[in-house]
Structure 1
Amino acid sequence: MKVLGITRPGPADVMTLMNAVCGAAAVLVVLSYAARPPADLAESGVRAATLLLLAGTIFDSLDGAFARGGRGTALGGMLDSLADALTFGFAPAVLLAQLGFVTASGPGRVLVVLGFLAYVSGALLRLADFSSSRQDDPAFTGLPSPLAAAAVVSLAFLTTSPLVIGIGLAALGLMMVSRLSYPKLRGPLVAAALAAWIGGILGTLGAFDMRIFAAVILLLIGLTPVLPALMPRERVHV
């Protein structure tokens, strides 16, 4: 007897769903700090939400591996975009916006709201564009949403300024729909991403000053699209 009234999810779909669960849980973490002292959100709240978002990136990687192994279903593409929209679009923006509201006055709140809307809109457009027409491109056009989420979380460790948060969210939203080129994770980049993930976990758990690590992540995300232009070109000898 068929129990589910939908296409039966496969192992890859379960991984994607777990990605979404991590994002939803991160939103709940932020909401749970609404009635607590602002310093609690800036410290333990940010760390708890960050750990959930980092877990989401693992499930996001696993669903692709499962799908390539033939363990996906027709649900995969749509479910993946929805999960990424929640975990890398909505959840980190909620976290950073709530931090901005802690110290924001009237104009500051407006700036944070505008930045929040720009970021979420950019993430949705970026994901829809990728899913509809760019999955086979050799590189990512626009800042990938997981990297945008990493930048947002990094900002959460560095500031609660409404001005910085509003501008930062808006800038990242624009970067996601820009023509900036980011390489896909292949070869050495996989090892670099794994090292960054491990560093993020350790820093979030207090192994070292997370502010330094966050600043490095922001710098790398900002420099990645322009590094090819800065590299010396090989001379062609005739």
Structure 2
Amino acid sequence: MIDPDTHAGDWVAGDDTDAADEAEDMPLSLRLSIADALTLGNATCGFMAVYFTTTGILIPHLTGSTETGMARNSAATAVILMLAAAIFDLFDGIVARKLRSSPMGAELDNLSDLISFGLAPAYFVLVYGMVADDAQQKVSAVAAIVVLLAVVLRLARFSCVTMKDGIFQGMPSPFGALTVVSIVLLELPFIPTLLAIIGVAWLMVSRVEYPKPRGVLAVAMLSWIVGAMGMLAAWAFDAPGGQFLLQTGCALQVVMGAVIPLFATARRVNTFRGSRRESREARAAQTP
């Protein structure tokens, strides 16, 4: 006959052992590294960009407010927050390589990028379609969905496909998000704006190779982001030449988004031609 007290004691002891094991494992799984903290900063900036887009642009439009300054300040703040998210995204990778990242690092990075460079710019496009004079809400909603799904597919592919070191396949989502927002801020006619946004979404899921921002390129990107923040601040506070600076910065961002794929494609074609030429020369050398 089994002693109930003894049997219960065995189970209690076993539970204590399991609880102790779980207690040992739990802090390790939830412990955040410095890189993870930067990644969470990325997500926070993306969420706040959505907040300012809603409270400063959409709600005043729906309530019939005529305070254009508020909309301008909120639009600038939302984009500056997306730029700040890009800075966090740039540095979390650098810190993770130099120090360490937790087991959650890769997942946190993808989820944060989805918020800051998928949801935030897509929502910005959606709101643009609601407040612009010549925009069409339903078509803008479709464009916003295209941007969001492109980022989702881009991030999913990044997690599944192993690329050559130092290379991204498809336009990186931070660069794509900033290009989409720049297209909106240029205030072009609706149809060209829509086509350009869809073009950027296609580039994000394309096979065009982009260099990863490391070394000099990372410094150049950081400098560009900080400069863009300054342009947005000048525009938000209606500084002399602020509108010109904003238009110039947005135009440069869009031009870079269009030119980089051309250079990447040309380099790939030249590499392919060089390989074929070397193969022909090797076969010719082997022919008696």
Residue of structure 2 in register with 1:92 after alignment: 121
Higher relative contact order (CA 8 A, sep 6+): 1
Aligned to 1:220: 256
What's the counterpart of residue 285 of structure 2? none
Cα distance, 1:135 vs structure 2: 5.3
Tell me whether 1:29 sits opposite 2:52 in the alignment: yes
More helix by share: 2
In structure 2, the CA distance between the partners of 1:100 and 1:4, relative to structure 1 (3 Å rule), is: farther
Structure 2 residue corresponding to 1:210, chosen from 232, 246, 257: 246
Percentage identity across aligned positions? 30
Q: Partner amino acid for 2:122?
A: A
- Normalising by structure 1, what TM-score? 0.87
Q: CA deviation at 1:76?
A: 0.3
Moved more, 176-185 or 188-197: 188-197
User: For residues 134 and 42 of structure 1, do their structure 2 counterparts lie closer, same or farther at Cα, with a shift above 3 Å needed?
Assistant: farther
User: For 1:35, what is the secondary structure of its paired residue?
Assistant: helix
State the partner residue of 1:14: 37
- CA shift, 1:167, in A, is 2.6
Are 2:91 and 1:62 aligned?
Answer: yes
Number of aligned residue pairs: 236
CA RMSD of aligned residues (A): 3.0
Q: Label 1:11 to 1:178 Cα distance change in 2 as closer, same or farther (>3 A).
A: same
Which of 112, 117, 133 is 1:83 aligned to?
Answer: 112
Deviation at 1:163?
2.9
1:113–1:166 Cα contact (<8 Å) kept:
no
Of 187, 196, 200, the match for 2:224: 196
> Contact conserved, 1:100 with 1:165, CA < 8 A, in 2?
no
Equivalents in 2 of 1:66, 1:101: separation in Å? Answer: 40
Q: Structure 1's 101 and 134: CA in aligned 2 closer, same or farther, altered over 3 A?
A: farther
Q: Secondary structure at the match of 1:121?
A: helix
How far apart are residue 120 of structure 1 and its match? 0.4
Superposition deviation, residue 211 in structure 1 = 0.6
How has the CA–CA distance of structure 1 residues 178 and 51 changed in structure 2, closer, same or farther, with 3 Å as cutoff? same
Q: What is the DSSP-based 3-state SS (H/G/I as helix, E as strand, rest coil) of the residue aligned with 1:20? A: helix
Equivalent residues in 2 for 1:108-123 (5 A)?
108-123=136-151
CA-CA distance at 1:199 after TM superposition: 1.4
- For 1:136 and 1:80, the matched residues in 2 are separated by 20
Asked if the contact 1:157–1:211 (Cα under 8 Å) also holds between the matched residues in 2, the reply is yes
Q: Which residue of 2 aligns with 1:47?
A: 76
- Residues 21-64 of structure 1 show CA distances to partners (whole Å, capped at 9, x for unaligned) of 00001001111122214745652122000111111111112211
Q: Name the residue aligned to 1:73.
A: 102
Instruction: Flag structure 2 segments of 5+ consecutive residues without an equivalent.
Output: 1-19, 282-288
* More off after superposition, 45-54 vs 75-84: 45-54
Q: Secondary structure at the match of 2:136?
A: helix
CA contact (8 A) 1:111 1:162 kept: no
Q: Once the two structures are superposed, what CA deviation does each residue of 1:193-223 show, in whole Å capped at 9, x if it has no partner?
A: 1221121011011174211111011101110
Deviation at 1:109, TM superposition (A): 1.4
State the shift of 1:16 in Å.
Answer: 0.5
Give the Cα separation in 1 of the matches to 2:145 and 2:211: 27
Query: What secondary structure is seen at the aligned counterpart in 2 of 1:182?
Result: strand
2:59 counterpart SS class: coil
Which consecutive unaligned segments of at least 5 residues does structure 1 have? none
